[in-house]
Structure 1
Amino acid sequence: MIVLLSNDDGIHAPGLKALAESLQELGELYIVAPDRERSATGHGITVHRPLRLEMVNMHGLKARAWAVDGTPADCVKLAVEDLLPGPPALVVAGINQGPNLGTDVLYSGTVSAAIEGIINGLPALAISLASYGDHDFTRAAEVARKVVGLTIEKGLPRGTLLNINVPVAEPRGVRFTRLGNRRYVNIFHKRTDPRGRIYYWMAGEPLDLEDNGNDTDVQAIRENFISITPIQLDLTDYRSLSVFRQQWKEINFIF
C-alpha cells in the first residue's frame, strides 16, 4: 500500500516527521513536500516557471522523500503524476503547526494538499495541531494513525476529505463538525522602511463569529475536543440555485 504525505510547513517541519513516524509501518511511505514553508498559499499552482526538486534523506524514516520548490498542491500533483510508482491508497497532509478551522481551509496549503488528492480521485486527510507555540506532535500523530487506520478500513465518500484539528490539551473526546465561521482582524501592520517607504506586514488575529455553535470545528477546539470535518469540493449553493432558477427564469441575455 502506497501512502503519500505532504504539508505546507516544509520538508523539514517537525510535524511532518512526527506524522511519517506514526504511519511508516502502514505501507510504502512517500513524502513530497515544499522545500520551505509555504503556509497560506491556498491552492496555488506554479505555471510561470519550471518546478525543481531534489531527493531528501529523511534520517530514521522508512520513506522516500522529495523537496519541491513549489506549493503543496504542486507537490501532490507532481507526486501522483510522476514520482510515485502507482496511485497512493491515501494522501495525508500535515501535521500542520497551527489550526485550520472554518474559513482557514480556503487559505491553508495543508488542506490544499489534501484537496489535490481528492481532485485526483484519492482519499485524503488534512491534520493540524491547534497551536502555533507547542511543538509536541505526539498526540496529533496518534490521532492521525487512528484516523488513517479507520479510513483504510472503512473508506471515504468519493470527493470528500477529512479535516482534522487536534487540541493541545488532553482531548475530551471527538466531535464530527461543520466548518465554523471566523475572520481575521487587525490584518495589516503598516510600517515604514529606512528609506521612508511605507510597507505592510500581513498578520491578523482570528475573530470567531457568533454563529459558531456546538457543532462547529471552532467550538470543538475551544472546548478541547478533536474536530473531524468532512469537506467536499463542490461549492455550489444548491438552495440559491433553486431560487435563481425560479425567480430569474425569464431573464434573457443577448450578446
Structure 2
Amino acid sequence: MIGRSRIRRLRPLQESTFRMRILCTNDDGIHAPGLKVVEEIARALSDDVWVVAPELDQSGVSHSLSLNDPLRLREVGPRHFAVRGTPTDCVIMGARHILGTKPPDLVLSGVNKGRNVAEDVVYSGTIAGALEGTILGLPSFALSQEFSVETRERPPWDTALKFGPDILRKVMAAGIPKDTVINVNFPSCAPEDVLGIRVTRQGKRNLGFLRIDERRDGRNNPYFWIGFERAAMMDTPAEGTDLAALRERYVSVTPLRLDRTNEAFSEALGAALK
C-alpha cells in the first residue's frame, strides 16, 4: 500500500505472517537450486507462496519483455509454474494472470547463483524480475548469492537462508519507498563467517569486465563467446559500495530506484541546450 509518505508498508508482521501472498521468480530457470532457496526464505514469512519462473535459463536478459513470441505456461506442481519467457514475463504472468483477483503482496526474485552488484544490475534478469514487481506497485527484493572459484559448483546457499528472512522482515517493517527495489547480495562464505549487514550504494568497477572470446568450430569458422576479464576480479572497490561489502564479508543491501534521471546534470544540460 502506498501512503501519503510514499512509503509502502505491509501490515504488522505478527498479524500478517501467514496471510501474505508471495510471488517468487528468478532468471536461472525453474529447476535452479537458488529457486528452492528463495522459496524456503519465502516460507519463513508466509504459507501462501507461489513460484512462477522461466522454463529455461534467462541469465543476462535484463528487463526484456516477450513481444514477438507467445508465452507458453506449464504447471509444474501445486503453485509452481514455468513460463517460456523472461523473468519480466514471469512476474507479469504471475501477478496479472495466475494469481487471479488476489495479487501478491511481495515479489522475491532469486536467489541468483552469483552476485548482482555494480554494472551487473543493468544486465541481470534477477534484478529485472524485482524491478517489474516494483513497477506493478509491489514491494520487491532481488536476492543473489555470491560464489568464489572454490564454491562455484556449490555456492553457500546456507548464507542466504540464514540472513534472508530477517532482512526481509526488517525492511518490510520499515517500509519501502515507491519505485524502489531492494537488492540483497550475500557474500561467498559460510553463515558463521559473515561479519554483518551493510546498507550500500551501487558500485562501479574501475576495470572493464566483459570481453569477446573468438574460437573456431570443426570447420574452422569463427564463433564468439562473451567472457569475463580476470583483471576485474582484482579491482579495488570504493568504500560504501556493494562490491566493497561483499569483499569484506558483509551482506550488501542496496536500495535501487527506477528513476535513472541524473538530476545533478539536468540544469547544466538545460543551459547547454538553450
- What's the TM-score once normalised by structure 2's chain length? 0.84
Q: Specify whether residues 94 and 219 from structure 1 end up closer, same or farther in structure 2 by C-alpha distance, changes over 3 A only.
A: same
Report the alpha carbon displacement of residue 148 of structure 1 after superposing the two structures with TM.
Answer: 1.8
Q: Which runs of 5+ in 2 are unaligned?
A: 1-19
Q: Structure 2 matches for 1:72-83, cutoff 5 A?
A: 72-83=87-98
Q: Which is worse superposed, 239-248 or 205-214?
A: 205-214
Q: Is the 8 A contact 2:107 2:139 kept in 1?
A: yes
What's the counterpart of residue 31 of structure 1? Answer: 51
* Other-structure match for 1:91: 107
User: Aligned residue for 2:6?
Assistant: none
CA deviation vs aligned residue, 1:108-142 (integer Å, no higher than 9, x gap)? 00000000011111111001111144333122022
Q: CA RMSD in A?
A: 1.8
The answer on whether the counterparts of 2:210 and 2:229 sit within 8 Å (CA) in structure 1 is yes
Contact persistence 1:32–1:67 (CA under 8 A): yes
- Residue 136 (structure 2) pairs with residue 120 (structure 1): yes
Quick one: distance in 2 between partners of 1:167 and 1:109? 20
What is the Cα deviation at residue 25 of structure 1?
A: 4.6
Find runs of 4+ consecutive structure 1 residues off by over 6 angstroms.
Answer: 208-211
Cα distance in 2 for partners of 1:175, 1:151 equals 13
Q: CA deviation at 1:78?
A: 1.1
Amino acid at match of 2:22: V
Match for residue 76 of structure 2? 56
1:209 Cα offset (Å): 9.0
- Tell me the distance in 1 between the aligned counterparts of 2:86 and 2:40: 23
Report the Cα distance in structure 2 between the residues aligned to 1:136 and 1:181, rounded to whole angstroms. 25
Aligned equivalent of 1:111:
127
- Matched-pair identity in %: 36
1:12 aligned partner: 31
User: For the residues of structure 2 that align with 1:248 and 1:217, how far apart are their CA atoms?
Assistant: 35
Q: For structure 1, list consecutive stretches of 5 or more residues without a partner in the other structure.
A: 58-62, 250-255
Instruction: Please give the alpha-carbon distance, in whole angstroms, between the structure 1 residues aligned to 2:155 and 2:264.
Output: 42
Q: Is the 8 A contact 2:66 2:85 kept in 1?
A: yes
> Contact 2:184–2:253 at 8 Å: present in 1 too?
yes
Name the amino acid aligned to 1:104: D
Is 1:197 the counterpart of 2:221 in the alignment?
Answer: yes
Cα 1:210–1:248 shift into 2, 3 Å: farther
- The count of residues paired between Structure 1 and Structure 2 equals 244
Change (3 A) 1:193 1:23: same
Q: Give, in whole Å, the separation in 2 of the partners of 1:143 and 1:165.
A: 10
Q: Deviations over 1:126-163 (max 9, x none)?
A: 01111144333122022221122123322211110111
Alignment of 1:130-145 (within 5 A): 130-131=146-147, 132-145=152-165
Shift of 1:53: 1.1
**Alpha-carbon deviation of 1:91?**
0.5
